[in-house]
Structure 1
Amino acid sequence: MKLSDKIATYNSSRPFYTFEFFPPRTDQGFENLIPRISRLSVLNPLAISVTWGAGGSTRERSIDLAGLTQSEYGIDTVLHLTCTNMLPGMVDDALRAAKVRGIQNVLALRGDPSRGTEHWTPVDSQFTRGIDLVKYIRSSPEFSSHFCIGVAAYPEGHPDRETDEDGSLNVLKEKVDAGADFIVTQLFYDADPFLEWVDKVRAKGITVPIIPGVMPIQTYSSFLRLIKLCGVKVPPSVMAALEPICHDDQLVKDYGVGLAVDIIRKITSTGTIKGIHFCTLNLEKSVQLVIEKLQWAGSSPTTKNKLIADAPGPMIHVQLTNSSDLVIDPTTATNTATSALTSKQTSDPDPGRGELNNAATWDDFPNGRFGDYKSPAFGAQDQWGGSGLSQYEGLSEWGHPKSTDDLTSLILRYLHSEVSSSPFSSLPLSPESLTILPHLEQLTKRGWWTISSQPAVDGACSTDEIFGWGPRGGYVYQKGFVEFFVEKQDLEKIEKKIKEKGQGWVHYFAGNLQGECRSNVPDDGRNAVTWGMFPGQEITQTTIIERESFLTWKDEAFSIWAEWASFYPPGSEERELLNSVRRERWLVSIVHHDYKRPDALWTFLLDGEL
């Protein structure tokens, strides 16, 4: 059903809400997102939306996920669609695929230009802005009457555009006049400016529903990254409340829930805002708590969803022959399987429980970049799926590197806090990495460009200002870890030393752009490199390094070199250098398992000649 029609006929006593999900990067994450959506569907959202990913990078998974929720389970789904990197014909292909699956709603976006703004050019000249998608769909006899179209709005201004507020409102009106049926806004953390913006939107003659984006704060570090990435303004009172509790993940989560509740109550109290768009980042607990505290749970919208969670009976794994596993409750899956599906019984309804990690803890403390690759939230980025690279930042902070010495100098400047970001980190060097700064500096001076690391920690208090995380009264542990880019000859020397002198204490992964992967980790090996012990809880593993997560990150890491290179004109020395690094270097990830010796990893790597 079209979202605009559902909103027009919505007659519940409480505001409606929608949930946003992104397609996980791994098959296991995709598999385990389905029961998560199932659990959240019990809250009866009016619809869910599925993001498209930066530059259409997840287009196949996006359509797969949206198709499953819409055609298989009857949850009205909004498919995000962007202009970026859409080859001629791809828009038609995506719209037809959505139509075949019964999807009647799309969110038309230009998309963040993952190759930089100054030199970015549309792949298909028909589509350079979100309005182009709106106009195209509305002018098409094949698609016009079928689709309800949403567009994005930025109450605090688009982070990549210098248009003033009146200009932004004019752009929004153009999109609505072109045929948009509803508006979804960028997230915000200050209700008063948002309500003022709504008044200005209405004064422009824009009457379609406005659905504000709300994202509960999950962790302090992810919050800082997100507000920088999205250009979100944060009231001083919010920062003042977070700073004293920033090292207690549970208190930050609790505050995030309370703040979201307060914002929602304020913006819905006037009667102007009829619904909320929850940006879940594929996390479920905070959204559930917000809805419970609002006392919205149990109120049913006009159309109930078919997908029911927690029903009795065994679970069935359903294997897609060309994609991912799903977990489906057979009591609600009657007649939904197709000939492309084959089912198999499983004895473990919770694939994350036991010796590997408990699925219930996957997202409690998602502070590790790797996390658990089986988690639906593995690899989460920002609300619209952006990469986080900024051309302005790249040119102003990272300059114009023309040699490998320039790149070494840039990494050293980042390590010494002379620049506040690097292509591989939107935030300054973390306090814990500062404790191993001399070692990172030595590696970088060798031409081993470090991009990620952590020191060994043996039972620091969970409230420790540098190493702590999780609830109070616990202890946290870390194995020494480092990740860097090297030339092939150096990789071979490292491999030889690990083989001859590692004595089983050192594990590594190495991968290149061409898809080669080297490792001394068994195929099914999983290295927990961060874990915590807390009163009344199982051991929680927040950062796990194994082949699947490394390969997923490796692909992203090499794409970052390409994005950075695209900030410079074709044929320039900078672009040629960065592209050659991407082609020739290897990404190496090394873990030393002796966490009781703080210098074990660094002594192994830096003592003696390689």
Structure 2
Amino acid sequence: MSSLAPASGQRNRPLFADVAGDIAVSFEFFPPKTEKMEQTLWESVKTLEPLGPRFVSVTYGAGGSTRERTHATVERIARETSLQAAAHLTCVEASRAEIDEVARSYWAAGIRHVVALRGDPPEPGTPFKPHPDGYANAVALVKGLKAIAPFEISVAAYPECHPESRNKAADLDNLWRKIDAGADRAITQFFFSPECFFRFRDQAAAMGIDAEIVPGILPVSNVAQTRKFAGQCGATIPTWMDRLFEGLDNLPAARQLVAATVAAELCGQLYAGGVRHFHFYTLNRAELSYAICHLLGLRPRADRQEQAA
């Protein structure tokens, strides 16, 4: 039976009627550029910490442009919270020796989880060109990281196909090779249809990919910004989303409510279809991700609240 069936069977029940809090979550942040942004990030980290995420990841800018800030953010999370911090690493504009040095420094700092990505070119719209002495792609990067230390490794997956892939079959084959190289799980780029995820999960399973595939959830409050992200990762922005956010440019509270509703409905449909692991692209804000986790039944434990205080 198709994975789509469980979700469709729930249409006559309240969307969150059967949630039991039996989910596991993770959150993604990006390194702050200013003191004010750092304060916002840290408030978000402390707000989400009591939910007990499996890990939180910190992104890595194109061409290693945020290398120091990523490293500092990851180390601070590891040092000052109870959270498992995961560092992003990419292949862009860095030699193998440089990337290996960064990986060893993470291991020495106690960071055991890496999100291994090929990475986007520094100039949007230009083709990716491997560094002459670097890792050619994410498959090679995963192999290189595993040769350095027994890192836990997450990689990216593309439910609607990576924009640079020849076709869906080639894209799935690339995912299979990343898992075969030693990756522990795949985290998808964002999407806005539950059927999109279930179809991709079924296709991956049919290819023999048995690693965990975690849906990446982006709560949208800025459609223009989301459209920019979508162009980089091959995601489709449905026309109804433009209509939902139309006229809300000067009403931030209303935008937040609409964004939470859209993302929560998607997560509720995924939950109804059997999904129990979710990865949230927070954009360094906690409110939307926290609200969705709450709707899915996840509650902070008293001991986690004490640690975050």
CA-CA distance at 1:48 after TM superposition: 0.4
Matches for 1:589-604 after TM superposition, within 5 Å? none
Distance, in Å, in 1 between the alignment partners of 2:157 and 2:212 is 12
For 2:279, give the aligned amino acid: H
The one-letter amino acid paired with 1:164 is: N
Q: 1:253 to 1:28 in 2, by over 3 A?
A: closer
Q: 1:27 to 1:87 in 2, by over 3 A?
A: farther
- Output the amino acid matched with 1:286: L
Match of 1:150 among 141, 150, 154: 154
Cross-structure match for 2:9: none
The residue identity in structure 2 corresponding to 1:294 is L
Equivalent runs, 1:115-126 vs 2, <5 Å: 115=123, 120-126=128-134
Deviates more, 1:95-104 or 1:286-295: 286-295
Paired amino acid for 1:104: R
Structure 1 residues 170-189: Cα deviation after superposition (integer angstroms, max 9, x where no partner): 11001111111000110111
- 1:259 maps to what in 2? 262
Distance 2:247 2:306 in 1: 41
In structure 2, the residue matched to 1:21 is 29
Match of 1:198 among 198, 201, 214: 201
Matched, 1:52 2:60: yes
Q: SS where residue 103 of structure 1 aligns?
A: coil
The one-character-per-residue Cα deviations of 1:228-272 (angstroms, maximum 9, x if unpaired) are 44432133333333336565332222111111111111112222x
Task: State the 1:15 CA deviation.
Answer: 1.2
Give 1:149's aligned amino acid: I
- Mapped to 2, the partners of 1:307 and 1:48 lie a distance apart of 19
Aligned residues: 290
Q: Is the 8 A contact 2:280 2:289 kept in 1?
A: yes
Q: Distance in 2 between matches of 1:27 and 1:257?
A: 27
Q: Which residue is 2:15 aligned to? A: none
Shift of 1:21: 0.5
Q: How does 1:291-440 map to 2 (within 5 A)?
A: 291-298=293-300, 308-309=307-308, 311=309
CA contact (8 A) 2:95 2:133 kept: no
Paired amino acid for 1:156:
E
Task: Tell me the amino acid that sits aligned with residue 295 of structure 1.
Answer: G
Aligned-residue identity in percent: 30
List gaps (5 residues or longer) in structure 2: 1-19
Aligned to 1:541: none
- Preserved CA contact (<8 Å) 1:39 1:308: no
CA RMSD of aligned residues (A): 2.4
Q: Distance in 1 between matches of 2:185 and 2:60?
A: 18
Q: CA-to-partner distance for each residue in 1:64-96, whole Å, 9 max, x for gaps?
A: 111111244331111110000113421121111
Aligned to 1:172: 175
RCO greater where, 1 or 2, for CA within 8 Å and sep 6 or more?
A: 2
Q: What is the TM-score when the length of structure 1 is the normalising length?
A: 0.45
Distance change (3 Å), C-alpha of 1:251 and 1:224: farther
Partner of 1:452: none
In the TM superposition, what is the alpha-carbon distance from 1:284 to its structure 2 partner?
1.5
**Distance (whole Å) between structure 2 residues aligned to residue 227 and residue 118 of structure 1:** 16
Contact 1:81–1:108 under 8 Å retained in 2: yes
Q: Deviations over 1:401-430 (max 9, x none)?
A: xxxxxxxxxxxxxxxxxxxxxxxxxxxxxx
Does structure 1 conserve the Cα–Cα contact (< 8 Å) formed by 2:100 and 2:145?
Answer: no
1:215 counterpart residue number? 218
Alignment-derived partner of residue 102 in structure 1: 110
Tell me, in whole angstroms, the C-alpha distance in 2 between the residues paired with 1:87 and 1:228.
27
Query: Structure 1 residue 85 and structure 2 residue 89: aligned?
Result: no
| Partners of 2:97 and 2:237 in 1: CA distance | 41
Matched position secondary structure for 2:307: coil
- Gaps in structure 1 of 5+ consecutive residues: 1-11, 312-610
Which SS does the other structure have where 2:187 is aligned? Answer: strand
Distance of 2:253 and 2:226 partners within structure 1:
14
Q: Could you say which structure has the higher helix fraction? A: 2
Alpha-carbon spacing, 1:231–1:250, altered in 2? closer, same or farther (3 Å): farther
Deviations 1:478-507 (A, max 9, x none): xxxxxxxxxxxxxxxxxxxxxxxxxxxxxx
Q: What is the alpha-carbon distance in structure 1 between the residues aligned to residue 74 and residue 56 of structure 2?
A: 9
Answer with 1 or 2: which has the greater Rg. Answer: 1
Match of 1:66 in 2: 74
TM-score, length-normalised on structure 2?
0.85
- The amino acid of 2:298's aligned partner reads W
Letter in 2 for 1:148: E
SS of residue in 2 equivalent to 1:277: strand
**Does 1:131 pair with 2:139?**
yes
Deviation at 1:117, TM superposition (A): 6.9
Q: Give how far 1:130 is off.
A: 0.6
Distance 1:109 1:241, change over 3 A: same
Q: Deviations over 1:121-146 (max 9, x none)?
A: 322534021111111122x2x41x2x
